[in-house]
Chains A and B, each alone.
Chain A
C-alpha cells in the first residue's frame, strides 16, 4: 500500500471507533472504544513522528546525537512503548535482551523510533495470521555485530515486506494495484531511520522465528574505557 494509504488506515480505525462509541449506550463499551482510539492514535502519531524524524535527519535539518546506548535498555523501552498497541491486538510481547553486550554508539531516539515503528508493524500483522500471536524483541551477538530485531510467526514479515518497503524509497507511493496485505509503512520508516545510522534492516531468523533486524556495531572506543 502507498505510504499515504498506510497512514490513513489508523484514521479510519479511529473514525469507526468514534462512530461506534457514539452509538453505544453502556459506559464500559464506550470506555473500551475510547481506549482503543487512544492506543491507535498514539501509535500512529509515533509513526508519523518517526517518519518526520527520518526526513529531518536525512535532510540534515536535525543532526544525529551520538551517545553510548545499550541495546538491552533500548529493547526494554521499545517493548514498553508497544504495550498499549499489543494489548489492543491481544499480542504477547516477549523480550530477550540477550547477554551483556558492549554498548553501541548511536542516536538513541533514532534507533528507538526505528524499533518502535517496526514493532507496530509486527503487532498489527499478528492479527493477519492464524499462528500464535507473539512478537519477540531480541538482541544477540553474531560475528558481524549485535543483531537487534523483532521476530514472530507471521510469514509475511520477512523478505517480501522489506522489499516492498525499500521500493518505496524515492517514490511517493507504491505501484498501483498492489494486493498484498500487510503494512509497509512501519518497515519503510524503520529502514529509513536505520540508514541514517549506516545500519540496514535485513531479514533474520533467530530461535525458530522469522523477522527483521539490524546489525549494530559495538563501540571499540568504549571497550577501552
Chain B
C-alpha cells in the first residue's frame, strides 16, 4: 500500500517510515497539511497516517480539507497522535463524518501495532 504519512517530527517520521517500509509499504512523508494535499495530488495514497499536532494548519483542518475532495472521500485515515483519544470528545464525529478508521495514541502504540492498523485499513472503507 502507499501510505501518506503526515508527521512533523523527524525522528518519529523516520521510525514509522522504516517500520512501514519493512512491512512492504511505500511511504510519502510530509510535515504539514498543505504539503499533504499536494502529495496526495501527486500520488493518491491508499491510507493516510495523521498526527493532529501540525505546524500552521492542524490535523482537523486537514481532515476537513482532504474530505472536500471527491476523489479522496473513501481513503481511510488513521490518526496517530500525541492527543489522547479520550480527549478527543468529538471522536464519534471524526469517525462518522470524516472517515477516521482508527484513533491511535502514540505513547501507547508500538510500531507493530501501527503496521497492523495500516494493514487492516485496506479492508475498512472510510
> Which residues of A are interface residues toward B (Cβ below 8 A)?
1, 5, 8-9, 11-13, 15-17, 19-20, 23, 36, 40, 88-90, 124, 126-130, 156, 176-182
- Asked if A88 contacts B11 (CB within 8 A), the reply is yes
- With A12-B106, A20-B19, A182-B55 as known contacts, state yes or no: A177 contacts B83, CB within 8 Å: yes
In the bound complex, residues from chain B placing their C-beta under 8 Å from that of A124 are 9-10
B85 at interface by CB-CB < 8 Å = no
Between-chain CB contacts (< 8 Å), 6 pairs? A13-B15, A15-B110, A90-B10, A130-B32, A178-B53, A181-B53
Please give me the residue from chain B that is nearest to A126 by CB atom: B10
B112 at interface by CB-CB < 8 Å = yes
In the bound complex, residues from chain A placing their C-beta under 8 Å from that of B54 are 179, 181
- Asked if B31 contacts A129 (CB within 8 A), the reply is yes
B35 at interface by CB-CB < 8 Å = yes
A92 to chain B, nearest CB (A): 14
Please give me the residue from chain A that is nearest to B58 by CB atom: A179
Q: List residues of B (1-25) whose CB comes within 8 Å of A's CBs.
A: 8-13, 15-16, 18-19, 22
In the bound complex, residues from chain A placing their C-beta under 8 Å from that of B111 are 16, 19-20
Q: Out of B31, B58, B107, which one reaches A127, CB within 8 Å?
A: B31
- Asked if B107 contacts A181 (CB within 8 A), the reply is no
Please give me the residue from chain A that is nearest to B112 by CB atom: A19
> Which residues of B are interface residues toward A (Cβ below 8 A)?
8-13, 15-16, 18-19, 22, 31-32, 35, 51-55, 58-60, 82-83, 87, 106-107, 110-112
In the bound complex, residues from chain B placing their C-beta under 8 Å from that of A9 are 9, 82
In the bound complex, residues from chain B placing their C-beta under 8 Å from that of A156 are 55
In the bound complex, residues from chain B placing their C-beta under 8 Å from that of A16 are 12, 15-16, 19, 110-111
- Asked if A1 contacts B82 (CB within 8 A), the reply is yes
Scoring B12, B22, B53 by chain A CB atoms within 10 A of each residue's CB, the highest score goes to B53
In the assembled complex, the Cα of A180 lies from the Cα of B59 at a distance in Å of: 10
- Asked if B53 contacts A130 (CB within 8 A), the reply is no
In the bound complex, residues from chain A placing their C-beta under 8 Å from that of B83 are 177, 179
Please give me the residue from chain A that is nearest to B32 by CB atom: A130
In the bound complex, residues from chain B placing their C-beta under 8 Å from that of A126 are 10
- Asked if A180 contacts B107 (CB within 8 A), the reply is no
- Asked if A128 contacts B110 (CB within 8 A), the reply is no
B30 to chain A, nearest CB (A): 9
